[in-house]
Amino acid sequence: MGTPPSTSRAAHRADSRRSRHAGGRAPTFAATMHALEEIASTGGRVSVCVTDLDRGSDLVMGDAFVTLPIAQLGVVPLLIETSAAMEAGRLEATGSVKRPPAEQHISAGVWRHFATSELAVCDLAVLTAALGDPLATNALIDLVGLDPVRERIDQLGLTRTALLDRVRENRGPDDAPHLALSTTRDLTTLFSALANGRAVSASVSAQVIGWLGLNADLGLAAAATGADPLAHGGAADQLLLVNKTGRDHGIRAEAGVLAGSRTGVAYAMIVQFTEETPLDRLRVHDAFRVLGADLMEAVY
């Protein structure tokens, strides 16, 4: 598992950032807003929010209170509840969990290719955070339960966020229409709490940050960092990147924390669009990368 940034290093980065606030120019995110306006003009639903981690002020907001589907990004509260249950002694981190049955007909993910059909709880959290593995996610949901996750979401003060269901490759009329829903305001609130050690406790926040720091999907906004998908955010790096993405047909979402020499931000963007050709999703991906470029200009 990845090691989350130590308290002393995080504090040093915060002090360094504060010293640069006074003379720095304020980011505008004009390019991001223009890119989202173009998507909205073709019928897409868009939402964005970026918050300064040190000051708590909003740098940009666009339909930040609109509830939209977020796909696998919705597992972050599940990871928080998993870590909280470990801390409270309700879950054993090294306890063995069996792989969900093959009849779920899930073709994505990597666990289905493993020789072993049992993994430790902490390994399930790593696969869920780093790769969005659907079988690992479902195993965690079965173990932790949706109701405790919903209670945790309420305790975190997220008023428009919900993990609705298990991961399903095909959703029928009796299934929830989406895996998860949220707003970009809720997501920046959530990632700000994690980054500042306020999600349940400092140790739970650090554990979840450590898991999410392993995320290998840097193909949306995080692509602008140029970071190595399998090795980013190390102690010697000038960049702190922790993110989670959500991808489904006609849905792209990303939220995270990005910190550089100038400042640190919590960010979130969700786009729901009509996906008929590969060009449709490429246009959406381009908008995320515009956000990533604006974020990099803001933190450096």
Choice among 58-62, 193-197, 227-231 with the minimum mean pLDDT: 227-231
Mean pLDDT over each residue of the chain, to the nearest integer = 90
DSSP 26: P
Q: Is the pTM of this model over 0.85?
A: yes
Angle formed by the axes of helices 121-131 and 202-212, to 10°?
Answer: 60
The answer to whether position 65 is within a domain reads yes
Q: What is the pLDDT of residue 285?
A: 98
Q: List, in order, residues 6 or more apart from 95 with CB less than 8 Å away.
A: 120, 121
pLDDT exceeds 80 at position 5:
no
On whether residue 50 sits in a domain, the answer given is yes
Q: Is 184 exposed, middle or buried (0-12, 13-18, 19+ CB in 10 A)?
A: buried
Please report whether residue 289 resides in a domain: yes
**pLDDT tens digit sequence for 80-104:** 999 999 999 999 999 999 998 865 6
Q: 248 — phi, psi (to 5°)?
A: -150, 175
Tell me if 136 sits within 8 A of 127, measured CB to CB.
Answer: yes
Does 283 reside within a domain? yes
Domain CATH code at residue 213: 3.40.710.10
What is the reported pLDDT for 103? 56
The amino acid present at 66, given as its one-letter code, is V
Model pLDDT for residues 182-194, shown as the tens digit of each residue: 999 999 999 999 9
Judge whether 169 lies within some domain: yes
pLDDT (tens digit, 9 = 90+) per residue, 104-133? 678 789 999 999 999 999 999 999 999 999
Domain annotation covers residue 110: no
The tens digit of pLDDT for each residue in 39-59 reads 999 999 999 999 999 999 999
Q: How many domains does the chain have?
A: 1
With respect to residue 231, please indicate whether it lies within any of the assigned structural domains. Answer: yes
Instruction: Report if residue 123 sits inside a domain.
Output: no
Helix (H, G, I), strand (E, B) or coil at 228: strand
- Strand segments (E) across the chain: 45-52, 58-62, 68-69, 96-98, 118-120, 162-163, 180-182, 240-248, 251-259, 264-272
pLDDT tens, residue by residue, 152-210: 999 999 999 999 999 998 888 999 999 999 999 999 999 999 999 999 999 999 999 99
How far from the centroid of its chain's Cα atoms is residue 46's Cα?
Answer: 17
pLDDT at 234 over 60: no
Q: Which domain holds residue 59?
A: 7-74+164-299
